[in-house]
Amino acid sequence: MKHLIDILDLSVEEIDELIRVADDIIASPVKYREACKYKTLATLFFEPSTRTRLSFESAMLGLGGNVLGFSDSNSSSAKKGESVADTVAVVSGYADIIAMRHPKEGAPMVASMHSLIPIINAGDGGHFHPTQTLTDLLTIHHEKGRFEGLTVGLCGDLKFGRTVHSLIEAMSRYQGVKFVLISPEELKLPGFVKQTYIKEKGIEYVQSTSLEEVMPELDILYMTRVQRERFFNEEDYLRLKDSYILTPEKLKNAKEDMIVMHPLPRVNEIDTRVDGDPRACYFRQAYYGKFIRMALILKLLEVQV
Amino acid sequence: MRIDSIKNGIVIDHIPAGKAMTLYHMLGLSAFDCPVAVLQNVNSPKLGKKDIIKIDAAVELDMDLVSFVCPKATVCIIRDEKVIEKKEISLPQTLTDILVCKNPRCITTTEQGIHQIFRLHSPDSGEYRCIYCDTKAK
């Protein structure tokens, strides 16, 4: 039985296979519509997340399966003090696979230690969010046609932005990738992530506090939101939340075929006037998320179509 | 100053000067019902000054803990006043319930009955990280 806690739980070959299956689902959805008939996905969301939860539910329903679960800890026994281990041990008897989001880092790993069924980490605090990374990879595959040799700009909250950490982990495994890290001083990429996935692998990178300066170099601009829930101090959040806002004016110096990605939800870090630019692909990115999650569910449930 | 040699037991040698009491407390040696000698600031050609712990009984020690606190120490097993084994120690790959994760966002801060497990991240710098949240051990 396999779980997905960290994107590195999947080899490059396994990711390639997931992308191949996702492509096939996009091309022939009817072929898959009963692939998980009589199977149940439990969505255990101890922290609210409309998009990720709906994407998982839509994925399972698209495979003909069933869905049960809760959408925040107030409507679960966690409020009564039940441990993650106990919750998962119980739910293992009601479902075939679990997608879990939890505000505490490492909660899905604890779940995987006590579960009889596969666990998918749907986000654990500021730590990992591997299915967002799979979504990002499928988006890059569709929009750019390759992973190798791309210059990837990551902008905004690189300190707490778990999608950024996971994407760096995943992209660092491809040849010729270069990272451009754009953030205010206070939200720089943690040293551990930079050391392990960039420096130790000899990957080229640039750090900048100016989005405009580095814009012409980028093949991909990955924007992130400064998340209120990651700050202990409201003052720090208010001071940093508007650090980088992407506008059509800033995009003037960008390559014609650059793509703008964002894990969503956005607040104000991308001006809505950018939405009409063909380079803005964040809504297509959310669309791809459903299909890669369908491919992942099939893989973890070992369903062959 | 003279400390008699031990007949059956363990000698932890080449402890960096000043670390013996830390190791003594972490190993819980005060609870042992046998003679335990702690020698501090002993002259050493190799280290200049070193500490030594002698335990006069064939007890079981947590070698992971010894390795973590004093990775360059040597552990000698004594039987009938002779060294029968010299244990080479190195930093253990994992440490279980020795360190506590300081990250307030880590699941170990709320989950009951969970083991605190740290994995060796960098053998060169001796850096350990929590297996749950990847936070560096302090």
The string of DSSP letters for A204-261 reads -EEEES-HHHHGGG-SEEEE----GGG-S-HHHHHHHTTS--B-HHHHTTS-TT-EEE
Per-domain residue ranges for chain A? 7-129+289-300, 131-286
Nearest to A104 among B106, B112, B113 (CB): B106
Per-residue model confidence (pLDDT) at position B89:
86
**Residue B3 domain-assigned?**
no
Report which of residues A2 and A50 the model is more confident about.
Answer: A2
Strands B127-130 and B117-122: antiparallel
Give yes or no: residues B82 and B113 share one domain. no
Sheet-wide strand order for B117-122: B94-96, B117-122, B127-130
ipTM computed for the complex = 0.84
Give yes or no: residues B46 and B108 share one domain. no
CATH architecture type of domain A131-286: 3-Layer(aba) Sandwich (3.40)
Asked if residues A269 and A244 have their Cβ atoms less than 8 Å apart, the reply is yes
| Residue pLDDT, tens place only, A172-181 | 999 999 999 9
* Separation between Cα atoms, residue B102 and residue A110, nearest integer Å: 17
Question: Structure tokens of A191?
Answer: 């040293």
Instruction: Tell the residue number behind the tokens 């300081």, with chain if given.
Output: B102
**pLDDT-above-90 percentage for chain A:** 76
What's the gap in Å between the CA of A109 and the closest CA on chain B? 7
CATH at residue B48? 3.30.70.140
- Please list every residue in chain B whose beta carbon sits closer than 8 Å to the beta carbon of residue A83: 111-113
The string of DSSP letters for A58-103 reads HHHHHTT-EEEEESSGGGSGGGGT--HHHHHHHHTTT-SEEEEEES
CA atoms within 13 A on the CB side of A96: 17
What CATH code would you report for A7-129+289-300? 3.40.50.1370
Give yes or no: residues B16 and B41 share one domain. yes
| Residue pLDDT, tens place only, A69-99 | 998 767 666 666 789 999 999 999 999 999 9
Across the range A153-160, mean pLDDT stands at 91
* Separation between Cα atoms, residue A44 and residue A91, nearest integer Å: 9
What's the gap in Å between the CA of A180 and the closest CA on chain B? 23
Strands B82-87 and B74-79: antiparallel
pLDDT band, very low/low/confident/very high, at A282 (cuts 50, 70, 90)? very high
CA B30, B34, B35, B39 torsion-angle sign: negative
**Residue B123 domain-assigned?**
yes
**Residue B70 domain-assigned?**
yes
Across the range A37-62, mean pLDDT stands at 95
Give yes or no: residues B78 and B22 share one domain. yes
Interface mutation target, options A88, A105, A128, A129, chain B, most CBs of B under 10 Å: A105
Per-residue model confidence (pLDDT) at position A230:
64
Give yes or no: residues B105 and B83 share one domain. no
Asked if residues A25 and A295 have their Cβ atoms less than 8 Å apart, the reply is yes
Give yes or no: residues B82 and B124 share one domain. no
| Residue pLDDT, tens place only, A193-240 | 898 899 999 999 999 989 999 999 999 999 998 777 666 678 877 777
What's the gap in Å between the CA of B93 and the closest CA on chain A? 18
CB contact under 8 A, A110 and B131: no
- Topology agreement, domain A7-129+289-300 and domain A131-286: yes
Across the range A50-76, mean pLDDT stands at 90
Across the range A7-14, mean pLDDT stands at 94
Per-residue pLDDT tens listing for chain B (138 residues) = 566 678 899 999 999 999 999 999 999 999 999 999 999 999 988 889 999 999 999 888 888 899 988 988 999 999 998 999 998 788 999 999 999 999 999 999 999 999 999 999 888 888 999 999 999 998
Per-residue model confidence (pLDDT) at position B110:
94
Q: How many structural domains comprise chain B?
A: 2
Range of the domain at B118: 94-130
Question: Structure tokens of A63?
Answer: 């495979």
Nearest to A105 among B106, B114, B136 (CB): B106
Question: Structure tokens of A132?
Answer: 């967002």
Per-residue model confidence (pLDDT) at position A80:
65
**Residue B135 domain-assigned?**
no
Sheet-wide strand order for A66-70: A66-70, A40-45, A97-102, A119-124
A188 burial type by CB count under 10 A (0-12 exposed, 13-18 middle, 19+ buried): middle
Q: Say whether pLDDT at A11 is over 70.
A: yes
Give yes or no: residues B76 and B22 share one domain. yes
- Residue A145, H or E segment: none
Instruction: Tell the residue number behind the tokens 């990002």, with chain if given.
Output: A136
Interface of B with A in 79-138 (CB under 8 A): 103, 105-114, 129-136
Per-residue model confidence (pLDDT) at position A3:
98
pLDDT band, very low/low/confident/very high, at A119 (cuts 50, 70, 90)? very high
Give yes or no: residues B119 and B59 share one domain. no
